[in-house]
Amino acid sequence: MVAEIVKLAGEWKSVADRADCKSLVVDCSNAPVLSSDMLSKLILLQWRLKQKEAKVVLSGLRAEVREVLRWTRLDRFFEINEDEKKEVVAAA
C-alpha cells in the first residue's frame, strides 16, 4: 500500500509541476478511506500548488471521507467537487 501511495504521489507531483497546471483533480471514488499517508501527500501537494496559485480538487468522495474531512476542517483546505463530469487528472 505504501509503495502505491508513493507512486501515486510521484504522478501527482509530475502533473503539478507542469507550468500549465492550475488545478489537479483527484478522483477519490475508489478510495473507501483516505489513510494518514495519503492525506499527508495530498496536503503537501496542496501546499506545493498553492505556491503557484493552483489547487487540489478532491472529487468522488464517499460520505464517510467527506465527514472526516469536515471533522478535521480539511474540507476548508481542499476544494471538494462532487461533479463527476469534471475532467479527472489523477485518480486515487
CATH code of 42's domain? 3.30.750.24
**In this predicted model, what pLDDT tens digit does every residue of 1-39 receive, in sequence order?**
668 888 888 888 898 889 999 999 999 988 888 889 999
Whether pTM exceeds 0.75: yes
Measure the CA–CA gap between 34 and 52, rounded to whole angstroms. 25
Mean pLDDT of 60-76: 93
What is the pLDDT at residue 91? 44
Type and span of the H or E element at 2: helix 2-16
Instruction: Please give the residue range of the domain that contains residue 67.
Output: 2-91
**Better-scored residue on pLDDT, 83 or 67:** 67
Q: Which are the contacts of 91, defined by CB distance < 8 A and separation ≥ 6?
A: 26, 27, 30
Q: Which are the contacts of 43, defined by CB distance < 8 A and separation ≥ 6?
A: 74, 77
- Give the chain's domain count: 1
What is the pLDDT at residue 6? 83
Type and span of the H or E element at 24: strand 23-27
Mean pLDDT of 54-59: 94
